[in-house]
Amino acid sequence: MPDTPMKGRVLVVDDDLALAEMLGIVLRGEGFEPSFVHDGDKAMEAFRETKPDLVLLDLMLPGADGIDVCRQIRAESGVPIVMLTAKSDTVDIVLGLESGADDYIVKPFKPKELVARVRVRLRRTEEPAPEVLQIGDITIDVAGHSVRRDGEPISLTPLEFDLLVALARKPRQVFTREVLLEQVWGYRHAADTRLVNVHVQRLRAKIEKDPEHPEVVVTVRGVGYKAGTA
């Protein structure tokens, strides 16, 4: 195993050998270190073995369904997951996001598009300056990547953490879904705002005392979201 510095290890979970190989060529060309698994049932095994920095996951897999794999990975880790899907139908995408995927990309996609999505999800490796933020009774240590309520740690995925930090840095500002898409997901053009909706729901489920009546991440009707003052 050569010990060259890599930008990141990417686990490609895809049953299509040709596509997987092609993805490998593109990723390697961009300096990533790809590893492959072609069967959903073996995905977890491979995940634990390779400890990837990012997972590229095809939604339709033999054996365990892509959605199941997504849930299993999310149960163990907050590693960024980008879904590959051939279906642009609403239901599948929402289902994928709700089971824990951070972002999705619809086939057929351009190599650049793929690389851009992967880069955005991995960029957090740059060390941020020490910073402590506070929303209500939630304390965020930005450098330490930790969130606490009354000293009790709360486990967030990197994406949820980014979302919370983005909101917390400007406590009184209302963020539109489009602005959040750009800041957190790195989309320059208008993209799927369901990404924001689904992840705000997931974030609330973890940090709110009562997710039905959110106090930390507040919805501003017709505009977007903001950090609560409570």
For residue 1, the minimal CB distance to another protein (Å) is: 26
Residue selected from 13, 23, 168, 198 as contacting another protein according to rule CB under 8 A:
23
- Of the two residues 19 and 154, which places its CB atom closer to another protein in the complex? 19
* 100 closest CA partner among 77, 74, 64, 120: 74
Would you state the structure tokens that stand for residue 180, as one six-digit string? 């959040």
- The answer to whether residues 23 and 34 touch, using CB atoms and an 8 Å cutoff, is yes
Stretch that binds another protein, among 1-9, 102-110, 120-128, 203-211 (CB under 8 A): 102-110
Would you state the structure tokens that stand for residue 16, as one six-digit string? 């299509």
Would you call 168 exposed, middle or buried from its count of C-beta atoms within 10 A (0-12, 13-18, 19+)? buried
Would you state the structure tokens that stand for residue 52, as one six-digit string? 């990837």
Determine if 7 is a binding residue for another protein (CB under 8 A): no
Residue selected from 6, 7, 9, 26 as contacting another protein according to rule CB under 8 A:
26
Q: How many residues in the shown chain lie near another protein by CB under 8 A?
A: 20
Determine if 119 is a binding residue for another protein (CB under 8 A): no
- Of the two residues 64 and 207, which places its CB atom closer to another protein in the complex? 64
Which positions from 45 to 84 touch another protein by CB under 8 A, shown as an x/- string?
A: ---------------x------------------------
From CA 105, how far away is CA 110, in angstroms rounded? 10
Conformation bin of residue 69: beta by default, left when phi > 0, alpha when psi is -120 to 50: alpha
Which spans of this chain sit near another protein (rule: CB under 8 A)? 16, 18-19, 22-23, 25-26, 29, 60, 86-87, 89-90, 107-112, 114
